[in-house]
Amino acid sequence: MAAFDRVLSGIPALDQVLDNIRMGDNVVWRVSDLDEFRRFADPFVEQAKKDGRNIIYFRFASHPELVPECPEVKRICVPLSHRFETFTVEIHKAIEQEGRDAFYVFDCLSELQTAWATDLMMGNFFRVTCPFLFILDTVAFFPIIRGRHSFNAITKIMNTTQLFLDVYSDAGRETVYIRPQKVWNRSSETMFLPHLYKPTEGTIRPIQDGVQTSRFYQVMNSYQRTLEEQYVDSWDRFFTQAKVLHENRIPVEEQCGRMCNIMMTRDERLRVLVKKHFKPEDYFRVRDHMVGTGMVGGKTCGMLLARAIIRNLAPDIDSVLEPHDSFYVGSDVFYTYIVDNDFWDIRVRQRTEEGYFPLAGELAERLRTGHFSREIQEQFTHILEYYGQDPYIVRSSSILEDGFDNAFAGKYESVFCANRGTPEERLEEFENAVRTVYASSASLSALDYRKRRGLDKRDEQMALLVMRVSGSAYGSYYMPCAAGVGYSFSPYKFLNDIDSSAGMLRLVAGLGTSAVDRTEGSYPRLVSLDKPEVTNFTTVAEKHQFSQRKAEVVDLKTRSLNRVPLDDLEPVLPAYVKNQVLEHDTEAEASLHERGVWRNICFISCLGLVRNREMMEKMQRMMQLIQKEYGEPVDIEFTINVSESREYMINLLQCRPLQVFKDGGGVAVPENVPAEDILLETRHASMGLSRQVKVDRIVYVDPVKYYQLPYNEKTAIAALIGRINWKYRDTGMHLMLLVPGRIGTSSPELGVPTAFSDISGFDAVCEIAESRTGYNPELSYGSHIFQDLVEAQILYTAVFPGERTIHFRPELLRQVPNRIGEIPGGEEKQDVVCLADVSALDCRLYHDLTNEHILLKF
């Protein structure tokens, strides 16, 4: 049938009042109970049967069925889960399969609250489903229950649908009233008056006399909730009721369980821990600091749970923990943002196999450029009013993030905000930060991570964690004294004779970004908590050479995140901070003294902090306590602030389970292999599980020729490696990568600036030291790239000068075909990059973890 053709409802008088239902119409019936809805749905279905329509009944609710089973009606059952996107996509797939001109009856939309706990998402479901039905020229009946939903939710439905009809009945159900609230593209002088429906007579007439009008309002008012209730979402009503019960000393264990399930986490293991350690006040405090509804996400849940564990089990540690004053943007706001900006269809198409990677760029761009509703902007403004002009950070906290199986380390953005300027400028800065984090959910690295871990079909809503930046202002620089990451268990020994179970820290001065990224000058201090002061270096000169060159700060003057050289930072640091984070290069100072130059030479080492035995003991015990509760190792992010009186505060920013793979062993590295057949052999310069792999392709980047490239061409080498990765990924071929300097860096002067998505398909990577160019590998224990390699089980090794590298003969690669010309953009870089085809050889890679021995032989 053609669009807008007239349709019979099964009640001729109703057709007359509405000037007929039309093809394309969505008809929402607001009723007091479902018996009222059946008065209109039953005739609609019977008429559709007579007319030979394609009739579909969507069954998803727990209430009694609305359409009895019969041959003429197709019943589609869709499980009503907490996963909004999964549920919605399943409905849309079914609608798309049925095609044009179908007739639908849906179960009661009010039941969606059971799974989603909020009116907001019910409105979002209708907002994306109604237009989809409209363009297919269908007719659909939807019931909703009066009084269960807020004005905002009803307004969203009313603005989207074509017909919205209120139905009222008196106590005996003998008198029925219909009042059309919206009839799209049709009108009459009496259409929007209340109408009296007499089913036995089949008449529907407008009410125009005063007596009948009074009786109508008497019936209508008997169903109305208070205005206050109608302005409040069902989510907020639930929390308010739970809080009132608790304040009156009535047990709320059941309500707390529901709060955990609908707000904190979907991870069953985390739910057990949250319910064990959270008090009712903890849930209420989260809700009070929350924008929107839905989940707070994995990062927020992990942080709050870790703090609750320490509060409950170690009051002495809790006394030195900095109280958090974070805010949380619920996961439902993410979906609402997409729906309100009219690109839900892109989101759905990107989730398909065909659109997963090709549509990612378009989705990310839409996420970067959308607008927020006035209601959300007002709540953002409240956050800014709370923080005044203190800097803050907007962090990702997606539903899947920081779980027992998925860390998502470094996959999503975090944005520091200086929080300076006019109120309008500060709000714009906040909104841009939120958009940036939202857009990172569609980044190639994030999508690749989800795909490789079988999560590409799972709902991944982005919640947000908004945290005040812990620290102090030093001149125009704002930063904590120190920050870093900690592991409760260190699977890779970076010092001889250390206890892996003691845990380790990766410690830097300033903000913790330098502790997890591989950037220029980022040599954090590695701290084994059983021997905090011990390092790999034997001389002060070595300590200085491999120290942190720059500190990450929020620059209040430029309103940006900057990496500040120590020479610029040192003059504004008070003496008590210098005593904690700086160390004198006594050898350099002595050399200058001999020449009559009296000058302090300092470098960042955080020596004063690691000498604080009480602090280090608390850091160790804190992680061990959380590990014991989690049942497996954890990693944390933290800051440390100190006062002039040597008091200190630790801010626990993040906590998540740490994946540690147990080595199967059993790999024997061949002995007595002729030296001329060995391409690479190292000892004590690797991390990863034992393995034996037949290698098919070896990618080798020549260190000297890479160094000689113009600076702006070095990123092209990273892109070329990425194209090689994606060409061979999931083909069953085994790849190894040999590159100068560091992988995973953002600084081309340190190595090849690859993202993890550029190397995710490789079996092994090897970083090469080159003294002629200054490239130097670094086993970045605790960095994001480290976590990626561990999770993907990618073997890491490095070519260092000295005894750790027994053999390294890249010239052997000249003996095999170079396939780099087969890669787009590879031909012009073939003097720099070799894609060695070793598939015809018995090229094998051996790694014995126990002895930290690697051999790559032809």
As a whole number of Å, the end-to-end CA separation of the chain is: 70
Q: What is the pLDDT of residue 521?
A: 57
Instruction: Compute the Cα dihedral for 29, 34, 38, 39 and give only its sign.
Output: negative
> Contact, 746 vs 720, CB < 8 A?
no
Do 133 and 253 fall within a single domain?
Answer: no
Q: What CATH number corresponds to the domain at position 624?
A: 3.30.470
Do 634 and 759 fall within a single domain?
Answer: no
Q: Is 565 a domain residue?
A: no
Do 246 and 178 fall within a single domain?
Answer: no
Please name which of 434, 433, 437, 366 lies closest in space to residue 408, comparing C-alpha atoms: 437
User: How far apart are alpha carbons 107 and 90 in whole angstroms?
Assistant: 15
Contacts of 153 (CB under 8 A, 6+ apart): 119, 120, 122, 123, 233
Q: Which of 623, 657, 691 is the last residue of a domain?
A: 657
The residue ranges of DSSP E strands in 242-307, in sequence order, are: 290-291
Do 362 and 245 fall within a single domain?
Answer: yes
Three-class DSSP category at 615 = helix
DSSP string, 656-705: EE---PPP----PPPSS--GGGEEEEEES-EES--EEEE--EEEEE-HHH
Provide the domain limits for residue 343. 234-469
List Cα–Cα distances, 23 to 183, 576, 593, in angstroms. Answer: 13, 76, 92
Do 189 and 290 fall within a single domain?
Answer: no
Q: Which of 657, 691, 707 is the last residue of a domain?
A: 657
Q: Which of 226, 257, 274 is the last residue of a domain?
A: 226
Q: Is 566 a domain residue?
A: no
Do 355 and 317 fall within a single domain?
Answer: yes
**Model pTM score:** 0.83
Do 79 and 191 fall within a single domain?
Answer: yes
Tokens representing residue 111 in the block: 């039941």
Q: Is 807 a domain residue?
A: yes
Q: With a cut of 70, list the residues of the chain below it in pLDDT.
A: 1-4, 171-173, 223-232, 407, 491-496, 517-522, 661-665, 778-784
Burial string for 279-291 (b: 16+ CB within 10 Å, else e) reads: ebebbbebbebbb
- Packing angle between helix 298-313 and helix 268-277, nearest 10 degrees? 40
Query: Backbone phi, then psi, for 588, in 5-degree steps?
Result: -65, -40
Contacts of 594 (CB under 8 A, 6+ apart): none
Q: What CATH number corresponds to the domain at position 35?
A: 3.40.50.300
Q: Is 443 a domain residue?
A: yes
Number of C-alpha atoms within 13 angstroms, CB side, residue 793?
Answer: 12
Do 262 and 301 fall within a single domain?
Answer: yes
Do 247 and 107 fall within a single domain?
Answer: no
Q: What is the pLDDT of residue 226?
A: 45
Q: What is the pLDDT of residue 493?
A: 64
Do 712 and 790 fall within a single domain?
Answer: yes
Three-class DSSP category at 261 = helix
Q: Is 560 a domain residue?
A: no
Do 70 and 214 fall within a single domain?
Answer: yes
> Contact, 32 vs 167, CB < 8 A?
yes
> Contact, 829 vs 675, CB < 8 A?
no
Question: How many structural domains compose the chain?
Answer: 4
Q: What is the pLDDT of residue 119?
A: 84
List residues bridging with 31 in a β-sheet. Answer: 145
Please name which of 115, 56, 69 lies closest in space to residue 88, comparing C-alpha atoms: 115
Do 289 and 399 fall within a single domain?
Answer: yes
